[in-house]
Structure 1
Amino acid sequence: MGQIAVIGAVVFVSACGLPRSGPTRGQILDGSIEKGGSSHVVMVDDRVNRAASYSPAYGFGSDFQAAGQVGADEVRPGDVLGLSIWENVDDGLLASMGSSSTQLQQLQVDSQGYIFVPYAGRIRAAGNSPDELRRIITQKLETQTPDPQVTVTRIAGDGATVSVMGKVNGQGVFPIERPTRTLSAMLSKAGGVSIEPEVAVVTVKRGGATGKVWLRDLYSSSRNDIALRPGDIILVEEDQRSFTALGALGGQTKVPLGNEQISAIEAVAMVGGLLTALADPKGVFVLRDEPQSVARAVLGRSDVYGTQRIAYVLDLTKPDGMFMARDFTIRDGDTVYVTEAPMVQWTKTLNVILAPVNQIRTTESGF
C-alpha cells in the first residue's frame, strides 16, 4: 500500500505541475499544425539545412550602385559663389574709380538655381561648372564692356551635402567635394568609425530607399563604395543582430551574432553548452519565422502563404545529429531553446514528495 500511495502522490504532483524552464519536447511537437497547433515542426536533415540556408545579406541595390558621381565642380542651389571681373577700360561698368577689377563675393545661388550679376542680369548657375558659368557671364558682359575677364569660384558647397552621424569620430554635414564623392572617402572625412570595424554597419538613406553594408565589405569591394548624392544620410552603428537562448542551457540570454555566421552548435556553445543534469539532447529547437519562399522550400510545399512559424528540431543523439547542428545556420531573431530531459521532471516530483519525509527523519534523529 505504501508504494501505491507514493506512486499516486507522484502522479498527483506531476499533474499539478512543477517549475521548469519551458515546454517539454512533447508539448512542442504536439503544437504542430498537423496536430491543430500554429507552427510547423521540422526535423533537421541535410535537405532542410540546404533549404534553410538563406541568410539576408547586407548590400546596396542597383539604384545605389548605378548612380554616377556628382561633379565636384557642379554648381547647385544653395552654393555660395565668388566672382572677380576685370574690365579693359579705365572707367568700367562695375569697377570703382581708379580700379580695373570688381569683386562680387557671397553670391548665393537661389532655390531655383539663379544668381544676379549687375549688367549681366539673372543668370542660371545651377547645373554649370564654375568654368561654364564664367563663359556665360563673360558673354553677357562683353556686349557692354570691351574684353571683360571673369573668374568664378565656389566658396561653399552647401547645395551638395550629406549628413554623417552615428558611431563616427566627427558627426556633421559635409559638402560633396572632389576628394569626398564616394562613401569611403566621406567616412574618412568624418574621422572614421569610433567602434570596432568588425561590427560596424554603414547605412545610407537616399530619399525613400535604404541600403546597408558591413564596413569591412565596403573596403573589400569597390562595388560597395557607392557614389554619394546630395541629401544622402549616412549612419554608422554597431551590428544589432542577435539570437535568444532559453531552456536547459548554461545561460539564458540575448546573444549578439557578431559579424560572422554561426551554427546552431556554436550558438549552444556560446551560452555554456547543454546543462548535463537538465538538458534533453533530443530536444534542441530553433524557433523562427520563415519568409514564404524559404518556408515552401523547407516544407516541400507550394500551398503555404506568407511568413510561417517553424520549429526546427535538432536531435543531438543521432549519429549525424552533431553534424546537422554544425551545418544549421542561426539567423537574426532566432530563439534557441533546449528542453529538459523527461527524467528531470520525474526527479523534481520525487523530491517534492520525499522532502517532508526526509525533514521528519532529520528532526527525529535530532532527538
Structure 2
Amino acid sequence: MTSLTVRLARGVTAVVAFSLVASCGLPRPGPNRAEIFSGSVMEQGDAFVLTVDDRVNLIAGVTPALAFAEGFENAATLGSDTINPGDVLGLTIWENVDDGLLVPAGQNATVLEEVQVDGAGYIFVPYAGRVRAAGNTPEAVRRIISEKLEEQTPDPQVQVRRLAGDGSTVSIVGGVGAQGVYPIERPTRTLANMLARAGGVAIEPEIAKVTVVRGNHTGTIWFEDLYDHPAHDIALRGGDRIIVEEDDRTFTALGATGTQSYVPFQSQTISAIEALAQVGGLSSVAADPTGVFVFRNEPESIARQLVGRNDLVGTQRVIYVLDLTRPNGMFFARDFAIRDGDTVYVTEAPFVQFDRVISALTGTLSAGDALATASGL
C-alpha cells in the first residue's frame, strides 16, 4: 500500500470523525452565551434579556424588608402590676357597721383568698358582682369594688393584692439558648430582654430572624435590627409566641464556577460578586467572564419598569447579563443584589468547547490510525 493511499485513508477517517463529533455534540455543563440570548423575546423566546447597569440595579435591587407593623410597635409596655387573665388575687374588705354585708359578726374584716381572674378577665365579688380585673392595676380594681359596695354598705375599705399570675407568659421556640414558656416580669417586658432571658440566639446572628405571633397577627424582623432600631424592641403581651429561626433563602449556582450547588444566604443581602465568591469564583480554566447570567422571575411591577412596557401581565422571566470585562462591569456586579430563588449561571469560554472538539478528534484519529494499522493499510 503506497503512502498516498495511507494519507487518503487517514484523511477520510478525519472527515468522518469530525462529522460524527459535529453531529453528536460534546458533553458540557449547560447552554452557551448564544443559546441563552436565543431565548430572548427579541428572538421569539419568552424571557427578557437585560444587560446590568446602574439603571437596572436601581430597579431590580429590591430586597425584602422585615419589620413589625404599627400595631406591634405602638403597643405600650405592660405595667409590672397589670392584672391578666389567669392571675390570682387576694381581697380584704372592711365594713364600718356591726352587721355588714360580708364581714362576719364580731369581726371587722373579711378575707377572700385566691380569687382567680377568669379567661374573660373578670372576677366575682359578692354583692359587687362581676368586676373587670384584666388590664387594670390592683389599685384600679380596689376603686371599682369600693364604688360598687358603697351602694350597699357605708364607706367600705378594700385591699386588693396580686398573689400569683400565670396569665402573662410568652413561649419561645427555635434557635435560642433555652426554649420554653416565660412569664412577663418587670425585667422581661420587651422582646430583647425576653430573648436574653431565654439565653439569647443560638444561631448566626447575621442570618437570624425573629417572628412574633400575636393572635391573628404576625411580624418578623432580623435579629440584628432589634438592636439597630429601638422601635423593634416591642412590648410583649401575654400569649405571644416568639420564634427564632435561620434565614431560609437560597440561590443556585451552575456552570463554570468553583462548585455547582444549592447555596444558602450567609448574610441579609448578597451581591452577584459575593454569590460567585461563595461558590469559589469563576473557573480560571473554563469560565467566560462576559457570560455571567442571573435567571429570575420578576413581579409584574418591576418587569414593567425594567423593559418600559405597560402591557405586561403577571410574573415575567428575566435574564440578567453581567459582563465582568466591561468598563465598570465589576462595579455593576458588586451592586447587583441576588434574591431568594435566583439561578446564577456562568457560561464556558468558547475555546473550551473548541478544545473538547480537538481532543475528541485527536482521540478519534488515533483510533482510526490503530484501525488502519490493524487492517494493513
Normalised by the size of structure 1, how large is the TM-score? 0.86
| Structure 1: 5+ residue stretches without partners | none
Which residue is equivalent to 2:146?
Answer: 138
Q: Residue 354 of structure 1: CA displacement? A: 3.0
Distance 1:245 1:277 in 2: 17
**Alignment equivalent of 1:281, drawn from 269, 289, 300:** 289
Bigger drift between 37-46 and 153-162 goes to 153-162
Which residue is equivalent to 2:199?
Answer: 191
Q: Which amino acid aligns with 1:151?
A: Q
Contact 1:10 1:350 in 2 (8 A): no
**Alignment equivalent of 1:349, drawn from 331, 350, 357:** 357
Which residue is equivalent to 2:341?
Answer: 333
Q: Deviations over 1:28-82 (max 9, x none)?
A: 1111222232221111122212222222122223333233334443333333322
For residues 101-112 of structure 1, the aligned pairs below 5 Å read 101-112=109-120
- Describe the shift of the 1:115–1:207 C-alpha distance in structure 2 as closer, same or farther (beyond 3 A): closer
**Alignment equivalent of 2:84, drawn from 76, 79, 89:** 76
**Alignment equivalent of 2:128, drawn from 110, 120, 135:** 120
Does structure 1 residue 58 correspond to structure 2 residue 66?
yes
**Alignment equivalent of 2:309, drawn from 279, 301, 306:** 301
Which residue is equivalent to 1:292?
Answer: 300
- Describe the shift of the 1:27–1:106 C-alpha distance in structure 2 as closer, same or farther (beyond 3 A): farther
Distance 1:154 1:233 in 2: 25
For the aligned residue pairs, the C-alpha RMSD in angstroms reads: 3.0
Q: Which amino acid aligns with 2:326?
A: K
Q: Residue 209 of structure 1: CA displacement? A: 3.3
Q: Deviations over 1:116-153 (max 9, x none)?
A: 22343332323432111112223344566665443223
| Structure 2: 5+ residue stretches without partners | 1-7
Question: Which one has the largest radius of gyration?
Answer: 2
**Alignment equivalent of 1:233, drawn from 241, 244, 265:** 241
Distance 2:167 2:222 in 1: 29
Does structure 1 residue 217 correspond to structure 2 residue 225?
yes
Contact 1:117 1:123 in 2 (8 A): yes
Distance 2:230 2:364 in 1: 72
Q: Deviations over 1:156-206 (max 9, x none)?
A: 444444322111123233344443332212222323222232222111223
Which residue is equivalent to 1:319?
Answer: 327
Which residue is equivalent to 1:256?
Answer: 264
Q: Residue 284 of structure 1: CA displacement? A: 0.6
- Describe the shift of the 1:311–1:227 C-alpha distance in structure 2 as closer, same or farther (beyond 3 A): same
Which residue is equivalent to 2:280?
Answer: 272
Which residue is equivalent to 1:13?
Answer: 21
Does structure 1 residue 151 correspond to structure 2 residue 151?
no
Q: Residue 89 of structure 1: CA displacement? A: 7.1
Corresponding residue pairs, total:
365
